[in-house]
């Protein structure tokens, strides 16, 4: 009988786990501004969301590299992985959505003018998905590195721009005005792109079909993110003015009406 091997306990300093994960740094980032214990839940969940925003940006930039190399299968694998991240991100709304108005108000003043729409990483998420807006750079002017990064991203192709360019290189008739458009502007639906996706779904290659479905799953999870945000806000504060002076529910309702990768939804009517 072999004797069980005991785990190594003494590393003569920090543990390899700490060196790799920097857990003590993460757990030292929470600073409550009120005495209400519910604020800690809100703060930690918000920080978790920020980490997921950064992870999504990393994954979608990786997918862009793979699309530019015409490695569609690798891009699909990366996009599928990011969809799982989005599911976990969306689940983070649940504890916040269960707060009553009185519970949220117990620490809301601690937020001051802070609001989620000021998140630089979330702005990267929107820009990478094609939801471009130069006016949304304004809240970030006081943080030069963040502002410069977002300004550069505004002028770069979105994930969907790279998808359409890859479809063009596959021989599909993506119109020139779409390929050569001003990528700093929000993407607008195009009838010819819709026809291309309809053809892919009618009988295109398996790789292109898988690409379309991976993008649709991401679009669906992003729509769910926006809708869950709307419901959590409506439930915790009704139609009051949002934190940071935003229009609150009215602003979020407007955002939920927009779809990313729009032709992937409308093309299904013609298959």
DSSP H helix total and E strand total for the chain: 14, 0
In a domain, 123, yes or no: yes
pTM given for the model: 0.90
- Mean pLDDT across 73-79: 98
27 within some domain: no
Task: Decide if 67 is inside a domain.
Answer: yes
In a domain, 216, yes or no: yes
Instruction: Write out the binding residues for heme.
Output: 229
The lowest-confidence range among 51-55, 183-187, 254-258 is 254-258
Q: What is the structure's pLDDT at 6? A: 82
Q: Look-up: residue for tokens 């630089």? A: 120
Q: Which residues are annotated as a binding site for substrate?
A: 108, 243
Residue 219 near residue 261, CB atoms below 8 Å: yes
How many domains does the chain fold into? Answer: 1
Q: What pLDDT shows up at residue 195?
A: 98
Other CB atoms within 10 Å distance of the CB of residue 83? 20
DSSP-based three-state secondary structure for 210: helix
Q: Which domain holds residue 184?
A: 37-106+119-270
Known binding residues are: 108, 229, 243
Domain containing 213 — which CATH number? Answer: 1.20.58.480
Q: 258 pLDDT band (50/70/90 cuts)?
A: confident
Burial of 75 (C-beta count, 10 Å sphere; 0-12/13-18/19+)? buried
Residue 6 lies in a domain: no
In-domain check, residue 111: no
Is residue 9, in this structure, part of any structural domain at all?
no
**What H or E segment, with its residue span, contains residue 165?**
helix 159-169
Is 134 part of any domain?
yes
Categorize the per-residue pLDDT at 8 as very low, low, confident or very high, splitting at 50, 70 and 90: confident
């Amino acid at each position: 009988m072999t004797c069980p091997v005991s785990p190594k306990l003494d590393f003569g300093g920090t543990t390899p786990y700490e060196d790799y994960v920097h857990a003590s740094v993460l757990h030292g980032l929470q600073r409550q501004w009120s005495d209400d214990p519910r604020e800690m839940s809100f703060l930690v969940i918000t920080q978790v969301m920020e980490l997921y925003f950064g992870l999504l940006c990393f994954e979608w930039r990786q997918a862009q590299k793979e699309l530019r190399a015409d490695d569609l299968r690798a891009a699909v694998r990366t996009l599928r992985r990011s969809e799982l991240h989005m599911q976990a991100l969306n689940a983070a709304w649940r504890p916040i959505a269960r707060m009553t108005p009185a519970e949220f108000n117990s620490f809301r003043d601690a937020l001051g003018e802070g609001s989620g729409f000021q998140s630089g990483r979330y702005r990267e998420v929107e820009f990478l998905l094609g939801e471009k807006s130069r006016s949304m750079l304004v809240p970030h002017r006081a943080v030069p590195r963040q502002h410069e990064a977002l300004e550069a991203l505004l002028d770069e192709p979105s994930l969907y721009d790279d998808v359409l360019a890859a479809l063009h290189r596959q021989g599909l008739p993506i119109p020139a005005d779409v390929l050569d458009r001003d990528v700093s502007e929000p993407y607008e639906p195009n009838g010819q792109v819709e026809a291309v996706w309809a053809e892919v779904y009618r009988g295109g290659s398996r790789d292109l079909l898988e690409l379309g479905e991976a993008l649709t799953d991401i679009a669906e999870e992003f729509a769910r993110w926006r809708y869950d945000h709307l419901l959590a806000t409506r439930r915790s504060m009704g139609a009051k003015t949002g934190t940071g002076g935003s229009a609150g529910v009215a602003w979020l309702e407007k955002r939920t009406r927009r779809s990313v990768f729009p032709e992937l939804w409308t093309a299904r009517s013609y298959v």
